[in-house]
Amino acid sequence: MNNHNHLEWIEPTGGVICFPRFKKEIKIDVEKFYKILLEHHKTYVGPGHWFEQSKRNFRLGFGWEKQKTFEKGLENIDKAIVTTIQF
């Protein structure tokens, strides 16, 4: 997560999920982010509102995929963010 300039998180102390969120200063259309991530990059995360959190948070699982697949998912998240950031 240290390499993701648009996201922040509270690092989990255990388990295989985390809930990154877009930093407050990042202007992003979160609905468009989720749509682009799924439809264009075939990558799926759980929107935060499913877990009684802000839509700016998302659930990211990292315990069952192979490292290469997980890294590709992180790349796809970055691509979707860049596509949906509002300047």
pLDDT in tens, 17-47: 899 999 999 999 999 999 999 999 999 999 9
In a domain, 2, yes or no: no
On whether residue 21 sits in a domain, the answer given is: yes
Cα separation of 50 and 55, whole Å? Answer: 9
Residue 45 sits in a domain of what CATH number? 3.90.1150.10
Asked if pLDDT for residue 54 goes beyond 80, the answer is: yes
Residues 25, 72, 21: CA angle, nearest 5 degrees: 25
Establish if 58 belongs to a structural domain: yes
Answer yes or no: is 51 within a domain. Answer: yes
How many distinct structural domains can be found in the chain? 1
**How far is it, in rounded angstroms, from Cα 82 to Cα 29?**
11
Could you tell me if residue 12 is inside a domain?
yes
Determine the pLDDT at residue 86. 80
Q: Residue 40 belongs to what domain range?
A: 7-84
Pick from 31, 45, 25, 21: nearest CA to 84: 31
SS3 of residue 12 by DSSP: coil
- Answer yes or no: is 1 within a domain: no
Count Cα neighbours of 69 within 13 Å in the Cβ-side half-sphere: 9
